[in-house]
Amino acid sequence: MTESEIERSRKRLEQFLADLLEPLGRRERRHWGSVYVRGLLLDGERKSIEPMAARLPEGNVQAMQQLIGQSPWPWAPVWQRLAQRMTAELTPDPVWSSTTRGFPSKVATRWEWRGNIPARWARPLIAKWR
């Protein structure tokens, strides 16, 4: 990645975390929550607080431990915001098709299937009458 791509990604992450961590209330909680998430995203085998704090330039073991283990912040609104954001991002755009292929039609005296259905599970379902 180039430096400009890294900077754009960092700004996008900061915007995402600002919205996600807003229910934490206090500015210090939001800051350390952001630091904690960035630590989770960094390379490294161990994802416990001490190694993450050592890898981050602004890492503070005590502040991160207090956020995760002792701070009484409501986790449900954070999870709800994350779920809403991921649902919006991962929901596919609707696709419309106007083709008639794949619908059964009556031809002469027997039923046939329009289109090519190579799936084995569909073959027994196709009824042919004489």
Sequence-distant (≥ 6) Cβ neighbours of residue 5 within 8 angstroms? none
Residue carrying structure tokens 């960035």: 38
- Measured from the Cβ of residue 15, the count of other Cβ atoms closer than 10 Å reads 10
Sequence-distant (≥ 6) Cβ neighbours of residue 113 within 8 angstroms? 102, 104, 126
pTM of this structure: 0.63
Contact 25, 16 (CB under 8 A): no
Residue type, 50: E
Q: pLDDT value at position 105?
A: 55
User: What gap in Å lies between CA 130 and CA 119, rounded to an integer?
Assistant: 24
Per-residue pLDDT in tens (0 to 9) along the chain, 130 residues? 788 888 899 899 999 999 999 998 889 999 999 999 988 988 888 889 999 999 898 989 999 999 988 888 888 999 999 999 989 888 877 766 665 555 555 555 555 555 554 554 455 544 444 3
Contact 21, 78 (CB under 8 A): yes
